[in-house]
Each structure stands twice: as C-alpha cells, then as structure tokens.
Chains A and B, each alone.
Chain A
Amino acid sequence: MTTVEASVERSELVAGTSLWADAWKRLRKNRLAVLSVLVLLFLVAACLLGPTLTRLLWGHTFDHQNLAYGAQPPSFFSHTLLAGKLVQAGGGRLVVRTPLGDVEAADLPGADDLREGRELTLVRRGIVYQNVDGFRICRQCTAIKGAVSEGPHWLGTDFHGRDLATRIFKGGQVSLMVGLLAAVVSATIGILVGAVSGYMGGRVDALLMRFVDIMYSLPYMFFVIILVTVFGKHLWLIFVALGAVGWLMTARIVRGQILSLKEREFVQAARSLGVKGGSIVWRHLIPNALGPVIIYFTLTIPTMIRQEAFLSFLGLGVQPPNASLGWLINEGANQMLVFWWTLVFPGSMLAVLLFGLSFLGDGLRDALDPQMKT
C-alpha cells in the first residue's frame, strides 16, 4: 500500500512540474500569442509613458483645457493662433489686423457686438463658422499675444481643446487598472467558490449556489450607487463593486466543469487510490477546469472595462478631468456625427487592447490544455 502511494505521489509531482513547463513551451511556439504579448506590452508601455512623452515634447497634459482650441481634427502639424486687433466691424463682417496680414471674417454670429480696437485671437478650427480661410474669431483669448504655436495634436483634441492622444493614454491606464484588478479579484474568488461548490456537492453546493443566485439577482447598480454615494467616489470602490459581481459567473463555470470532471476516470482513479480531497481539487480538477476559466478571464477584462464605462456614463465612475477608455468612447459615440476622431481613436485603442488580451487568452488556453500532450 505504501509503495503504491509513494509512486502516485511521485508521478503526480512529475506531471505537475511538466504541466506548467510544457504550457510555457507551447505558448512560446504560438506566434499569434507571442505577438499579442508584444502588442500588449507596447500598449501598456504607451499608456504608462505616453503622457510624460507628450508633455515633454509638446507640453500637452491630459487635463489642460484650451477652449479656443476645442474639437480640432487630428494633425501632424502645429497650429497657429493668430492674435490681432479688430480694425473694422459691422454688418456681420470683421477685419482683423494680424502679424500675417489682414484676415476677414464674414457672417459671424455676434459680430455686431464687437467693438473696433479690440484684441482678438483667430483660431483655425476643425469645424468653422461660415467665414474665410478656416479662421474663427475667439473673442476671449486676449491673454495670447502675437502668433502662438500650439500642438501638434496627432489624434486631435476633444471639445475642451485637450490633447486626445494624452487623454487616451491616461484613460488606457485607468481602464487597464480597472479591468485587470477587477478581473483578478473576480477570478480568484470565483475559482475558489466554484471549486469548493462543485467538488463538495450536496448541501455546501446548494448553499453556495443559492448564495450565487441571490447575489446575481441583486442588480449591482444598487451596490455601486449606494457604495459611491455613502462612501464617496474612489477608484477602489469601482474594483470592489465590479469584482463583487464578476466572480459569480466564474464560480458557475468552474463548478460546472468540476461537476463534470469529478466523474471522469482519472479523478475516480485518484480517489480510489486515496488521494485527499484538497489535493484532488488542486492537482486534478482546477488545472483541468482552467481552460474555460482562462477564456472567461480574457472575456472578463473587456467586460469590466465596459462596465466601468457604463458607470462613468451614469456619473459614478472616474471623475473628470480624469477619464477611462470607456468614458472617452462614450463621449465619442455621442459626438460621432460631428467629431469622428473622438470615437475612432479611443475605440481603436480599446479594440487593439481587447484583441491582444483575447489572442493571448486563446494561446494560454491551448498551452494549458493538459490533453494536448496525448
């Protein structure tokens, strides 16, 4: 009896180490997965370093508003703000004397209210009033003297004149953090509860699953609204709120897998050999149930990111002037008709991020599948 047990222990040990080592080997062979890792690393680096880079290069910060420069389309060139003196006004027609010559603007709403001799700044805008040369009068920019260079804004600016690229990087940081942390929290709780529930079965299973049902039937909006309104708005509250609901699904999946796995021959064998419950769960059931969990995990990150966007949409997520990717996309979707770049760029960023996460998840899944060996 003792010899048999010893041999089981040893073979388990061998299988255990080779399981993860093999997985790593297989993952490296999967070109798509490796590419995904590289892309993800690049994106993470961009999000972490991007804001510093744009600040050092062009002085952009994620929260600096230049209202006169709002909603500029993307451009690789610096734009010029022209300041000058109003030399002729009336009849909806304005002439402004600038260092680069006289600029005429016609059909300007409110042009009749302006007095001659006033300092004016002209700004090139993406969407212009009906006037000449793509210039628009900016009545309040008296602080800027002469021609001032601004930009470039490679991805354009938002409605407030904030550099969109910088905001996307900053938003990427927030989204990645929310997505990852919430997903890790939910996966951990979910695997534990699901495994225990599935393996123990009976009363424990019934109790845990009823608990999951109850949690699931409570719309999490309440938790979030109440948490946020009572305790104030903190980013960690969003993790708690999202993590608290996210694990339920994982638990159900793991339980389903384990319910099915524990009737399999190899588990029966281990059990008949007297391997202890905890060991069976840890060595046999969880590794075998990991495939769907990893797939679900890669699906959880985008879900979390989107739920965070939904919360921001309701005013319960990140607070302005901060932003997350979902927040930026929501804003972009509302303005899609007018400022396309505010949707396209944050949207692409999120899409690439999610593509990377998903292909990495697939790679991991294939790598971790113990049956691949045979």
Chain B
Amino acid sequence: MLPGRLRYGVFLLAFVAACSPHGHEDYFGTVRPAHPPDEIWLNNSSEPEYLDPGKLSDSAGSSIVWNLFSGLAQPHPVDLQPMPDIARRWEVSDGGTRFTFHLRPSQWSDGVELTAEDFAWSWRRVLDPATGSKYSSMLYVLKNGAAVSQRALFIRGLPWELHADDTPARVADLFDEIAPIDRVQMTDWPEPGALVFLGGEDEQRPEFRDRAIDALDGHSIGGSRLAVRVADESLVGVRALDDLTLEARLEGPVPYFINLMTFYTFLPVPRHLLERLEKEGVNPELWTKPEHIITNGPYLLKDHHFRYFYYFEKNPLYWEEEKIRIARVRLFLVESYNTTLNLYRAGELDWIGRNSSLPSEFMSYLEPFEDFQRYPYGSVYFYWINTQAPPMDNPKLRRALSMAVDRQSIVDNVAQADQTPTADLVPPGLAGYEGLATPIFDPEGARAMLREAGYENGSDVPAITLIYNTSEGHRQIAEALQQMWKEHLGVEVTIENQEWKVYLKNQQMMNFQIARMGWIMDYADPYTYLELLSAHNGNNHSLWSSREYDDLLLSANTNPDPAKRLALFREAEEMLRDATPLLPIYIYTKSTVLKPYLKGYWGNYQDKHAWKWFWIDERWYEGVPEEPLPDPPPAHYPFT
C-alpha cells in the first residue's frame, strides 16, 4: 500500500490539476472575482423569518437587518464597543438609570425625517404583546417593560405610602378571592402606582384580568378611588423630548445598556409606512416586502426570491453614504454547507457567510488554505442538566459527570476548530472578567466525587439519558461524552437524538435528564451568561434556582464600582460550579472561508460584519498579488 499521504494526494491530484488554471493552489477554489468591483455575492444560508427588526429572532434575519437599519449606536467592527450611529452622543444620569440620546438629523429612505419619536414608538411596539415580538424580553430593562409585555395590571390612586415595606402585600391582599397573583411591583414613573403581575395558567389570565378590573376599578379604599387598567405601551420608559432627543428610563442601573443599542430589537421601524399601509388596506405585517419597505441603514432591499436570494443596493440617503464602497449585494439562501463550499470554490460566492458553519471533518483539510480564517466566538457549548430528575438531583453526581469530561480531547478530536475547552459558563476575559479557571478534566477527582455522591463504581448509577437535536456535530460530541463517562466513571449513558421541535418541547417540559444547548452572547458582559440561571429566566432549563444567586446578581448590577461588580459575578459563578446545573464543554470559535480579494472583514466575537465596511481589492482581477493591501479597521467614532 502507498503511504497515507501519497494515496490521499493521488486522489486529490485530478482536482488540484484541474483547478490551477482558474484557482491557485494556496487557495480553496478560484480567486478571480466573477463580478464587478462594486458588487459582492454572499450566502445567508436560510430564509429569515422576519426582516422586521422588532419581531426578528433568528440569526438569518439579523445578518440582513444590521445592513438595512441604523440604530442609536453601532458596534465597532473589531472590538464591538458601541460607537455613535444615529445618536451623535449620549449621557447617563440618575445613577445609571436614565439615558439621554442626542440624534443627528437623518432621513428614511423615502426622504421622511427620522425622529426620536420613531425610536420611542418602535420600542413601545416591541413591548406590546399584540405585536408578537419573540425577543420582547430584551427590552425588559426599560422601565415597566416587563409589565407592559406581560399585560400586568396598573393600579393608581392607592391610599398607601408607595415605598413602604408593607405596601406590596397590601396591594396583593386586594386580589384575594379575585385572581391569583405572581408578584407586585411599585412604580413612580410615569405616575405613582402599583403593577400587579397575575398568576395562574396562561389560558386563564385574560379572564382573571377582566374579573380584577371589574372588581377593583373605581373601587374606593380609605377615601381613595382606585383606577385599574391593563398596563399599556404608554407606560414604557421611553419618550422623545424633542425631534432629536430621546430619553430612556430603566428599571435599575444597567451597565451594559449602550451595548444593547447595537442589538437589532432596538432598531427603529418606519412608523409612517406601517400607518400608511394600514390606511391603504394592506396588511401592515407585509411592510418588509421589497415593494413596500423603507429603511434608514446603509442598504436598500430591492428584490427577493423566496428561499433563493435577496438583492440589495446602496442607500443614497444613508447618513454616511460616502463611506460605502460596495454598491450592490447579492445574498443567496443556500442551506447545505457542502453546496455552499462548492459555490465558494467555483467563485459563485465571495464569502460563505456568517450563518454557514464548516463541519469539523473539513477543518484539518481547510486550515492550510490562505483564505481560511478563524477567530474566537462568544458562544458557549454546554449541556443543561435537569436538577430535579433523579439521579441528576444529586449535585455531586452532576459534578462528577462534569469532571469526567475530557474537554481537550473533544476539542482536539471531534470539534477540531481550536475551540477553548472550558468547565465554566462565562468565557474568561469577557469585559475584563476574571474566569474561575476550573480544571477542564479531572478523572481522579471525578471518581472520588462519584463515591462521595454515594455510588461505588458507576455501574450502580441509575439509567441516564442524554438528548441532543439531530445534527452531525452534536451527535459526534454526544458519542464522545458517552464514551468518556463509560471509560472514566463506568457510568452508562444512553444518547438519543430528537427532531428539533420535539427536542424543544421536551426541553420546555423539562422532559430530559441531560440536554444539549448553545448560548450566544447578546451583549459583551458576563451578565449575558449569568442571567441564564436566574430564577425568573425563561431560558433556564435546569430547574435550579437560588435566592442567594439572584441576590448576588442584583447587588452586582447595582454596584457602581465595575471591579466590585465583576467580583460579585465571580462569586455567583462559584455557586454555579458547585451546583453544576449545566455542563460547559467549550467556547466556540468561528471558522470561515473568505475570498482574498474581499477586504474590510475583521473577525470579532459576535461575528458581526457590516457590508458597509467591505471593499474589493481590484488587483485580483489581474492575478495573485505579491502582498496583501493594508486593511486597517476604522477608528472609533467620537461624540459630536
């Protein structure tokens, strides 16, 4: 037999030889642009659910929407720190609970002036449950945001001292015999009153609400007449002070609020368009169709063919239009990674796009090519543990399982993309956070911990099932875990893949013992991970909660000293490590292939790449240049 490398080489010979007239052996496929220098061809992988920033919830939509709309702040393309966009500058006051934004004069793509009220209206719209925004909880940081989104009852005219300790209890007493309540929250903005979040089953709540309003509205207590209504959008803590000044009031100090401004749910929506469509009898839901859409960002949506492509042109009315070098963007919707790579090799795509991930089997093959890129990505791969499902209700057993995972091996041999193996939830170094650096593999300790948990040798551990959603990559990691637990602990774990919706349902119903999960950071702050485990977080699928933990997070966020805040977060994460409600595996990296002529692309941990920075190195039309052109990222924008 020929040696391995040689045989492999023979197999690839035909391909490489045939490739050379069009491509270059250092690159994966062709390197001569197949289109004019002011055009690019990208892949978006899948058809987005919405292009409406307020309703968007998938990454397929987000990568388009960033280029269609401009928000108050934009992320710097390298370090992602928020810098001025539509807002020229902003101020923080009232101990971090009030933000004032000063907008630059700018226009929608139909020439209508963009005003502060457009932002205020858009944010209120997101919080109105009738809008159906799946990400409305992103705006719960705004004053009364949660109350509006959950249709809490707003009670005015209470006879008691608003901030007295017993007032919430007194308000709760009013609802005795009328409706079950979840919690009471006092507010003094926009006017003093109480917000009552009703309990009970989801289906019964409308009835409870009606009954409570019937019983209490107009009711007199201690000479004071109560006014009760469902909390509506007007209560949301945002308002336009004038055409170009926006004020946001928050529930508490939110140190990362400006980072949130780069998140798509906070982008503005053209109110005048939605209202016009409504008047014309067109379903306003369809406002993002190419024939209607009005935007304020760098690009305009010109054409769309369902599940095939989107076509964009540069927006001549964009406020920094002069910086845009790519006039036309063709965005394909190719789902299969093999097809995407084929198209890329044949020169039909300039970049495989942020939503295409390279399979681990291809990593060692693609790594040597010059057009291969890799950088860290702010997302953690982990497994939820249902802490109420025996035998997983034993924290020592959970800890033992976690310690017995050889994460380095998974990264080296399965995931194969130089991910950072981690046994902690929060990536170290995130916004200056010092990680716990828990050992990533400790088989001896794991066996000791298993004995402490009350098991002799692992074979006496009751049956455990691990579920993951159908996917090649998840399967490979699950199989590796299965093998490791058997080898290091003697614990037999059954693994089961489930179709996506079934998987989601089982996760929601807590119908599992161990389940796969990935969490992508929403903003660059440890809190984006730590809040996952707070008692009220709907995304906490461990059934683990702790008052002490929640209090730690709260005191951290209200602490004015950033260093002290991070120290408190660290304490909270130590609690997590001991309780092990989840089992982290690694921090992702992003691997991609990108044609060498496409410039203005810089890796960052949220994998955000605005098309407005892109440009094409025209020397590649002639041949492969000797040296790459310098491609410095833009400087941070100053306040103006």
Q: List residues of chain A with CB under 8 Å of any chain B CB.
A: 65, 67-68, 70-77, 109-110, 124-130, 134, 138-140, 159-161, 225, 229, 233, 314-316, 319-321, 331, 334-335, 337-340
Determine if A338 and B497 form an interchain contact, defined as CB atoms under 8 angstroms apart.
Answer: no
Chain A residues with CB below 8 A from B441, complex form: 140
Determine if B497 and A67 form an interchain contact, defined as CB atoms under 8 angstroms apart.
Answer: no
Please classify the interface of chain A as helix (H, G, I), strand (E, B), loop, or mixed, using the class held by over half of its residues.
Answer: loop
In the assembly, what is the distance between CA of A159 and CA of B472, in Å? 11
Determine if A67 and B4 form an interchain contact, defined as CB atoms under 8 angstroms apart.
Answer: no
Determine if A73 and B7 form an interchain contact, defined as CB atoms under 8 angstroms apart.
Answer: yes
Chain A residues with CB below 8 A from B412, complex form: 67, 138-140
Given A72-B4, A140-B408: A130 in contact with B499 (beta carbons within 8 A): no
Determine if B4 and A334 form an interchain contact, defined as CB atoms under 8 angstroms apart.
Answer: no
Determine if A127 and B470 form an interchain contact, defined as CB atoms under 8 angstroms apart.
Answer: no
Chain B residues with CB below 8 A from A320, complex form: 475, 478-479, 495, 497
322-360 of chain B: CB within 8 A of chain A: 338, 359-360
In the assembly, what is the distance between CA of A109 and CA of B483, in Å? 26
Chain A residues with CB below 8 A from B413, complex form: 67-68, 70, 138, 140, 161
B418 within 8 A of A: yes
245-300 of chain B: CB within 8 A of chain A: none
- Tier of interface size on chain B: 35 or more
B640 within 8 A of A: no
Determine if B479 and A75 form an interchain contact, defined as CB atoms under 8 angstroms apart.
Answer: no
383-441 of chain B: CB within 8 A of chain A: 406, 408-409, 412-414, 418, 441
Determine if A160 and B3 form an interchain contact, defined as CB atoms under 8 angstroms apart.
Answer: no
Chain B residues with CB below 8 A from A331, complex form: 472
Determine if B361 and A71 form an interchain contact, defined as CB atoms under 8 angstroms apart.
Answer: yes
Chain B residues with CB below 8 A from A73, complex form: 4, 7-8
Supply 8 A–B pairs (Cβ within 8 Å), ascending by A: A73-B8, A109-B418, A134-B5, A159-B360, A314-B499, A320-B497, A337-B365, A338-B362
Of B338, B367, B406, B499, which is within 8 A of A229 by CB? B499
Chain A residues with CB below 8 A from B414, complex form: 67, 160
B1 within 8 A of A: yes
Return the chain A residue nearest B337 by Cβ: A334
In the assembly, what is the distance between CA of A339 and CA of B365, in Å? 10
B11 within 8 A of A: yes
Chain B residues with CB below 8 A from A316, complex form: 499
Determine if A134 and B406 form an interchain contact, defined as CB atoms under 8 angstroms apart.
Answer: no
Chain A residues with CB below 8 A from B361, complex form: 71, 159, 334-335, 338-339
B93 within 8 A of A: no
Chain A residues with CB below 8 A from B502, complex form: 229
Return the chain B residue nearest A233 by Cβ: B496
Chain B residues with CB below 8 A from A68, complex form: 409, 413
Given A75-B4, A134-B3, A334-B361: A340 in contact with B499 (beta carbons within 8 A): no
Determine if A139 and B495 form an interchain contact, defined as CB atoms under 8 angstroms apart.
Answer: no
B572 within 8 A of A: no
In the assembly, what is the distance between CA of A223 and CA of B367, in Å? 43
B235 within 8 A of A: no
B476 within 8 A of A: yes
B387 CB to closest chain A CB (Å) equals 25
B147 CB to closest chain A CB (Å) equals 38
Given A110-B418, A140-B412, A319-B496: A127 in contact with B479 (beta carbons within 8 A): no
B480 within 8 A of A: yes
426-458 of chain B: CB within 8 A of chain A: 441
Of A72, A125, A159, A315, which is within 8 A of B476 by CB? A159
In the assembly, what is the distance between CA of A74 and CA of B495, in Å? 29
Further pairs besides A160-B480, A320-B495: 18, Cβ < 8 Å: A65-B483, A67-B412, A67-B414, A67-B480, A68-B409, A73-B8, A74-B1, A76-B1, A126-B4, A129-B364, A129-B367, A139-B408, A159-B360, A160-B479, A315-B470, A320-B478, A320-B497, A321-B479
